[in-house]
Structure 1
Amino acid sequence: MSVSDFMTKNLVVADPEMKIFDAVDLMKKNNIHRLPVVKNERLVGLITEGTIQSALPSKATSLSVYEVNYLLNKTTVADVMVKEVLTIKPEALLEDGIFQMRQNNIGVLPVLDGNDALVGIITNNDIFDAFLKITGYNDGGTRIQLRIPEDHQGILADITKLLAASDFSILTVVVNRKELETIIELQIESRETQKIESILIEAGYDVFEATLVSKKV
């Protein structure tokens, strides 16, 4: 899975000469929390709710309301934007994007292609959506969790063959390797939860959870 599979491609961007008030309105209108700043089709910065908040005068300021409004009306995006912006390539692994965001404690990465053109943006919300898709959260069917005390080569192939022999199709597989055991979670395209559970138990698998999940609209 690459960054391009999950990034937001329909971008809302700001011009560096845009007034702060206009940038705030643009965010509110589009229900977003940050804006890439673009000039001559090139990324020159990033503005977020946090950077805007930091630029606002403190509540303890001695300035009058008139002076505060005058100051803000003179302030542009270029005055407060982050200029050193971390970016990522569209072909990068999604995991690389997550790691980069975690390491730098940020919630967004603009995506630049080989020509340094802005082609997308990936945020923590995009990553949450990716996780839901990978785990089959929206698909419905039967979710089975197997406890594997001793993991071994070919076990996933064995499980797949077993279910395929009974005409069951696996939608997603998530493997969670713990210190003393491995947990395999399967999302299966079927509502025959009890039948699936029985097949796996009869084959000697430790089924510790079998749940019918509804398809999310």
Structure 2
Amino acid sequence: MSIRDFMTKNLIVVQPDIKIFDAVDLMKKNDIHRLPVVQNERLVGLLTEGTIQAAMPSQATSLSVYEVNYLLNKTTAADIMVKNVLTVDPEASLEDGIYKMRTNNVGVLPVVDSKGELNGIITNNDIFDAFLKITGYHEGGTRIQLRILEDHKGILAAITKLLSDNDFSITNIVVHRKELETILEMQIESRETEKIEKVLKEAGYDVFEAVLLSKQEK
């Protein structure tokens, strides 16, 4: 899973000479919180609500409303944008992108390819959407959690074969290895929750959760 698979591709971008008032209007109109600043298809900065807010005169200013508006009307994106923007390659793994966001405490990464061209942007919300997709949240079916105390090579193959032999199709698998046990969570296409649980228990597996899931709207 690469950044390209989950990034937002249809971007609204601005030029460095856009006036701040116009950038704010663009954000409000499109309900967005940041604007990549590009020149000749290359990313040169990032304009965010935070950078705009920081550029606004404080309430303690002695300037008149007319003077404040005059100053802001002359301020452009190039004057206040973040210039040293942290980016990520479109072919980087989703995990690498998440790690970069976490370690640098940022909520957005412009996606820039090897030519320096802006391909998209990935945000916290894109990461959340990716997690929901990977875990099959919207698909419905049956969620099964197994507790495996003695993990060993081939156990996953044995479980998947058992389910396949009983005509059950697995849509997602998540493996969570803890210190003393391994938790295996599977989402199965079938809604025959009780039958799935019975098959696994009769085969000796420790089923500690078997839940019928409803399809969720995207």
What TM-score range do you get, normalising by the shorter chain?
Answer: over 0.9
Q: Secondary structure at the match of 1:36?
A: strand
Within 5 Å, give how 1:44-55 maps onto structure 2.
44-55=44-55
Within 5 Å, give how 1:48-67 maps onto structure 2.
48-67=48-67
Q: Secondary structure at the match of 2:190?
A: coil
Does 1:14 pair with 2:14?
Answer: yes
State the Cα distance separating 1:191 from its structure 2 match.
0.6
Match of 1:191 in 2: 191
CA distance in 1 between partners of 2:182 and 2:32 (Å): 39
Residue by residue over 1:35-82, the C-alpha shift from the partner in whole angstroms, topping out at 9 and shown as x without a partner, is: 110011111000111111111111222222111111111111111100
**Equivalent residues, number:** 217
What residue ranges of structure 2 are gaps of 5+ in the alignment? Answer: none
Within 5 Å, give how 1:78-93 maps onto structure 2.
78-93=78-93
CA distance in 2 between partners of 1:58 and 1:205 (Å): 63
CA distance in 2 between partners of 1:191 and 1:22 (Å): 52
Match of 2:206 in 1: 206
Residue by residue over 1:170-197, the C-alpha shift from the partner in whole angstroms, topping out at 9 and shown as x without a partner, is: 0000111111111111000011001001
What residue ranges of structure 1 are gaps of 5+ in the alignment? Answer: none
CA distance in 2 between partners of 1:67 and 1:182 (Å): 64
Runs of 4+ in 1 over 4 A off after TM superposition: none
- Give the counterpart letter for 1:165 in structure 2: D
Aligned-pair identity in percent equals: 76
CA distance in 2 between partners of 1:85 and 1:175 (Å): 35
TM superposition score normalised by structure 2:
0.97
- Give the counterpart letter for 2:104 in structure 1: N
TM superposition score normalised by structure 1:
0.97
Match of 2:31 in 1: 31
CA distance in 1 between partners of 2:168 and 2:189 (Å): 7
CA distance in 2 between partners of 1:150 and 1:63 (Å): 71
